[in-house]
Amino acid sequence: MLCALFEMKTLCCSSAPSTLNGHVHGSSFSNSALALPSLKTSAFSKASTKLRVGVTKASVAVEQQTQQTKVALIRIGTRGSPLALAQAYETRDKLMASHSELAEEGAIQIVIIKTTGDKILSQPLADIGGKGLFTKEIDEALLNSEVDIAVHSMKDVPTYLPDGTILPCNLEREDVRDAFISLSATSLADLPSGSVVGTASLRRKSQILHRYPSLNVQENFRGNVQTRLRKLNEGVVQATLLALAGLKRLNMTENVTSTLSIDDMLPAVAQGAIGIACRSNDDKMVRLQLQFNLFVFNILIMSCCIFYGFSVFLLHNSCSGHIKKEAGMY
């Protein structure tokens, strides 16, 4: 089942977001355009190529709520990174396309919530808690009825959901593979001995060092997609790996040097999948997700997550600890 899951490659096209009402958790936006920066690169060259900084195709105008503004029918909780917002916009667009009442201005509100993983960037994720760092505060807002649904990258979701929440369905899954990005090499095998690859993922680190022990890995290579590409452009590392799904959702595939096959780099469990969570006692939101043909319920993704959680339970260890051990890091 896992092999079939990882080979599953469903292309999902998300439309550029338009105007909506929204606010950062705890405060409102003023009338301004929130531009999401995008880094693009031209065709690969051995010469001193640089990733070009441009304006993303996806920008959103966020309007300050007033007493005259219609009360939102659905509040979507999400992180504030460009990728997280793109996933929230995709969810919003599907809701609007399926329900005419949700297509009205102000019917859907995007609520940006800053998580622990967004706040602490100076330490490796495994050292500050691992799984749940990008979902905890969003789930708390969901349980406190501050948002109605929460949009999560499934690979960030812990094995056990918080009591009172359920994750009944997923959006259509994107490409599960990892992308190799470099200004000086066409692949991991092409990197000279001693080259530094930037990644915060223990999964990627273990596989890189197993296949290419002559390379070095900067493990606390953190930040959103744009930040990591900027660090690569500045020469902090010679290469990095990113999920191809995220680059597609951000319309940033021009930065990809090459795409790694599943045999070369095993993807994370549920990579490329977006999960939609809601309160278990909120019948309206549950029906919205299950009764209508809005979301694609992917039983393979959910089965994979269950299998993964069961494996961790049997190992009596965290996923990070197990990967470290396999990589010979202990």
pLDDT tens digits for range 118-140: 887 777 666 666 667 889 999 99
Task: Tell me if 2-41+54-174+269-322 shares its fold with 178-268.
Answer: yes
Fold adopted by 178-268: D-Maltodextrin-Binding Protein; domain 2 (3.40.190)
Q: Which residues lie closer than 8 Å to 229 by C-beta, 6 or more apart? A: 39, 51, 181, 240, 255
Strand pairing of 52-63 and 32-40? antiparallel
Higher pLDDT, 117 or 297: 117
Superfamily of 2-41+54-174+269-322 according to CATH: Periplasmic binding protein-like II (3.40.190.10)
Active-site pick, 156, 178, 190, 263: 156
Active site residue 156: yes
Q: Are 171 and 295 in contact (CB under 8 A)?
A: yes
High-pLDDT (> 70) share of the chain, %: 64
Check pLDDT > 90 for residue 226: yes
Q: pTM of this prediction? A: 0.71
Q: What is the mean pLDDT of the chain?
A: 75
- Alpha carbons 232 and 183: distance in angstroms, whole number: 8
Q: Where are the domains of the chain?
A: 2-41+54-174+269-322, 178-268
pLDDT in tens, 43-93: 334 334 555 434 333 333 333 343 335 689 999 999 999 999 999 999 999
Q: Are 232 and 53 in contact (CB under 8 A)?
A: no
Range with lowest mean pLDDT among 92-106, 216-230, 256-270, 282-296? 282-296
